[in-house]
Amino acid sequence: MVNYWEEDDTIDIRHYSIRAVAAGINKSVKKLITAGKSTTKELPDLSKYNDIADYLLNPGHLSDSEYEGEEQEIILPQNISEQGGTVRGEKSHVRLMEIGPRLKLELLKIEDGIDEGEVLYHRLVQKTGAELEMLKKEAPKKKKLKKRIEQENEHRIIRKLEKAQEAKKREEEELKAVIEKAARKQAAATGQTEDIENTREKDREIAMNRERLVREVFFIINRSINCSTHNSS
């Protein structure tokens, strides 16, 4: 439900669930009728009542929105829930159940586009015609400046990635050199130098493939940035 308040220029929004309830059947009786018809509807606990009438007449089973006083009855034009007794041609009550949340909104700003277009309305800022004309002239420059800053940030990120990759590569090479040195000493002592050379050849091939893949990734990123720069200009 949406309501506009002209006094303070605000909008109230409330969320309701609309449901039809069979007329002439209170909530206590309905629980007995629908018990066992689904896994979530169990037979109510009647052990605390001395008489079934105490359960049927207990007003605590009804909330304020479900109180069945003088309510207007309607004839349903179609079936809604056969289990709940709300079928076509039967008398029913229509109820609203608030499901929230309650919202109180105030219009502050209207802008053409998303964070990049002309401001069409602002509640707190009023500008003259000359100021609006100046903003229109400056808009393309600001847009171009924003694009250039974004591209510089992208290049900066790429350079950081490249430096990180180079540092990682140096660390791997230093660690590999230490391992190879230890392996050569061990091979010299056991006479297994041929196995060491084969392992080194495989490691070199893996490193070359990894380096080629990294260069291809950076080439694709740079090409996409250059294309976007060309299109924006």
- Tell me the Cα Rg of the chain: 37
Average pLDDT of the residues in 117-135: 80
d(CA 128, CA 108): 18
d(CA 213, CA 198): 23
pLDDT band (50, 70, 90) for residue 93:
confident
Output the pLDDT for position 64: 46
42 in helix, strand or coil?
coil
Enumerate the β-bridge partners of residue 21.
Answer: 93
Q: ∠ CA(163), CA(167), CA(169), 5° rounding?
A: 115
39 in helix, strand or coil?
coil
Q: ∠ CA(204), CA(206), CA(212), 5° rounding?
A: 100
**Rounded to two decimals, what is the model's pTM?**
0.38
> Residue 92 region, left (φ>0) first, then alpha (ψ -120 to 50), else beta?
beta
Q: Which residues fall within 8 angstroms of residue 32, CB to CB, at 6 or more apart? A: 43, 44
Q: Which two tokens stand for residue 35?
A: 């018990």
The predicted-structure confidence for 8-56, as pLDDT tens digits, reads as follows 889 999 998 877 776 666 677 777 776 766 666 677 777 888 887 877 7
Enumerate the β-bridge partners of residue 222.
Answer: none
Output the pLDDT for position 2: 92
Domain limits, the chain:
2-106, 195-228
Q: Which of 85, 99, 81, 78 is nearest to 24 (CA)?
A: 85
d(CA 189, CA 179): 15
> Contact, 93 vs 80, CB < 8 A?
no
Output the pLDDT for position 12: 94
